[in-house]
C-alpha cells in the first residue's frame, strides 16, 4: 500500500483545517489517519497538505487542534514562531520539495516569548540567557510599536495586541525573506493564513491571509 498524492488547492487545504479545528472545539474529534495501515503507507513518502510554522509551546499542538493525522502536516516550531534561517529553510523545503498548498503561521494566546519580550523592556529586567535573548529580540521592536500606538510604556504593552502584530509581521517577514515562498503565493500555488490559537476555547482565529485563500471577516 502506498501513500497517494492528492494535491488540494490552498482554499481546500484551509477549509479542511478549519473543519478539523471546529471538531476539536466541539469535542467531536475523528483522530483520522492514525492507524497502523497509515503508518505503513507513509514509509514510501509523504504528501502533507499544509506546513505549519508555530510556537514550541506545548498547548497548541497542530495535529491535535486541527484534528489531522500522520503525514498530513509538515510542522516547524520555535519559541514565539520567530523567523530564522532554519525556519525559512524548513518552510521552503515544504513548499518547493513537498509542494504543500498552504502555510499556516500559528501564534497563540499568552505566548511566553511575547511576554518575555515585553518584560525585557523594564529598566530592572533580569538578564536573559544569551540564546533566549537572541530568540526574542526580534519581537522587542514590535513591543515598542504597539506601545507607541497605544500611548503606553513598553513594559505595560498589551500582550494580546503584541501577539497579533507579531503574527502579521511574521507573515510579512517570511515573504520578504523567501523569494521562493513569495513567488509561490504570487503564482497561486500557495496560500498563507496567520492565526491565533485561543487557549481556553481551542479556536484558531485567522487574522491575516496572503494568496488564494478567502476567509470571511479577514
All domains of the chain in start order, with CATH? 10-208 (3.40.1050.10)
Does residue 37 carry a pLDDT above 60? yes
CA 79 to centroid of chain Cα atoms? 11
- Predicted model pTM: 0.94
pLDDT of residue 4: 54
Instruction: State how far the Cα of 28 lies from the Cα of 50, in Å rounded to an integer.
Output: 22
Q: What mean pLDDT is predicted for residues 20-36? A: 96
Q: What is the pLDDT of residues 65-108, one digit of tens each?
A: 999 999 999 999 999 999 999 999 999 999 999 999 999 999 99
Amino acid at each position: 500500500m502506498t501513500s497517494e498524492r492528492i494535491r488540494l488547492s490552498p482554499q481546500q487545504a484551509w477549509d479542511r483545517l478549519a473543519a478539523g479545528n471546529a471538531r476539536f472545539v466541539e469535542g467531536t474529534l475523528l483522530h483520522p489517519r492514525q492507524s497502523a495501515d497509515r503508518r505503513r503507507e507513509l514509509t514510501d513518502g509523504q504528501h502533507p497538505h499544509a506546513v505549519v510554522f508555530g510556537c514550541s509551546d506545548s498547548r497548541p499542538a497542530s495535529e491535535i487542534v486541527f484534528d489531522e493525522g500522520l503525514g498530513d502536516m509538515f510542522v516547524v516550531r520555535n519559541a514565539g514562531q520567530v523567523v530564522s534561517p532554519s525556519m525559512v529553510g524548513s518552510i521552503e523545503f515544504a513548499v518547493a520539495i513537498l509542494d504543500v498548498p498552504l502555510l499556516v503561521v500559528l501564534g497563540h494566546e499568552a505566548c511566553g516569548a511575547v511576554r518575555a519580550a515585553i518584560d525585557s523592556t523594564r529598566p530592572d529586567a533580569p538578564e536573559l540567557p544569551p540564546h533566549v535573548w537572541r530568540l526574542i529580540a526580534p519581537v522587542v521592536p514590535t513591543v515598542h510599536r504597539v506601545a507607541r500606538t497605544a500611548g503606553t510604556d513598553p513594559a505595560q504593552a498589551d500582550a494580546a495586541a503584541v501577539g497579533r502584530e507579531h503574527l502579521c509581521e511574521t507573515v510579512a517577514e517570511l515573504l520578504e525573506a523567501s523569494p521562493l515562498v513569495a513567488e509561490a503565493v504570487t503564482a497561486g500555488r500557495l496560500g498563507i493564513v496567520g492565526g491565533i490559537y485561543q487557549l481556553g476555547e481551542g479556536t484558531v482565529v485567522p487574522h491575516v491571509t496572503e494568496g488564494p485563500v478567502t476567509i470571511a471577516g479577514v
